[in-house]
Every structure is written in C-alpha cells, then in structure tokens.
Amino acid sequence: MKYKAIHRFADVTARKMRPFSQLVRGLNVDVALEQLKFRPNRGARLIEAVIKSAVGNAEDRGCRNVEDLVISECRIDDGPMYKRIQPRARGTAFSIFKRLAHIHVTVMEPEDDATEAEETTTEVAKS
C-alpha cells in the first residue's frame, strides 16, 4: 500500500531541492534519512521532514513493517512566485522572484517476489 505526505508552499526553490529528491528516490526510508541527515542544505531538511511525515502516516494507517518502507516517489513541483521590485538607479526597477515549491513523497511496502511470480504466471495462463 502507498502512503503519501505533501508539503506545499515550501520557501525554497524547486531547482535547489531536486538533486536531493533524486538522491533518495527508490531507497529504503532509513537509508534515505541517513543520506539527508548529513547534507548541509535547507532543502534536505524539508525533504527529510516530509519523509518522516509519510512514515508517520504509514504507522497511523496500520503499516506492519515501517522499517521496510521504500520511497517510491519523491517529486518536487514548482509553486507560485512572489513578485517583488528592487529600486535601482535613475528610477529603474529590477524584478525579484521569490519562488516556492511543493514537495510530494510517497512511501510503499516493498513488493514480495512471490506475489510478482504469481501475477506473471496468471498472466501467462490467461493468454
């Protein structure tokens, strides 16, 4: 079963957080949290918090083996932008874009090899 957690309107640009999402995608939750723990960036702290929230959602919904959860999806989407103006010389203005991001994390229990083998045999038997 899949368990999700979302942090919307994070005050970090999506571009700065996407390398961390690629780092943890497909890893075990414990390994991913250990990887993010030693990264000095603020984006890593935010992704770490969302992963912990997804694990908490799994515990709340009755997941038996929380230690075995795997991050199946870690996606960073662009959020809205705050547009500000910085006054410059001779009455001109520079635009300042304060970008926000949405963090989506989905964890799931690892698939058993036995269930996959049963599914493939039933598909072959049907055709």
Question: pTM for this one?
Answer: 0.82
CATH at residue 122: 3.90.470.10
Q: For the chain, what is the domain count? A: 1
Q: Which helix (H) or strand (E) holds 42?
A: helix 42-60
Place of tokens 């723990």: 37
Mean per-residue pLDDT, 12-28: 95
Residue 110 φ then ψ, to 5°: -65, 145
- 51: region left, alpha or beta (phi > 0 left; psi from -120 to 50 alpha): alpha
Alpha carbon distance 65, 59 (integer Å): 9
Structure tokens that stand for 9 in this block: 């309107």
Position 111 confidence tier, pLDDT thresholds 50, 70, 90: confident
Domain of residue 91, residue span: 2-126
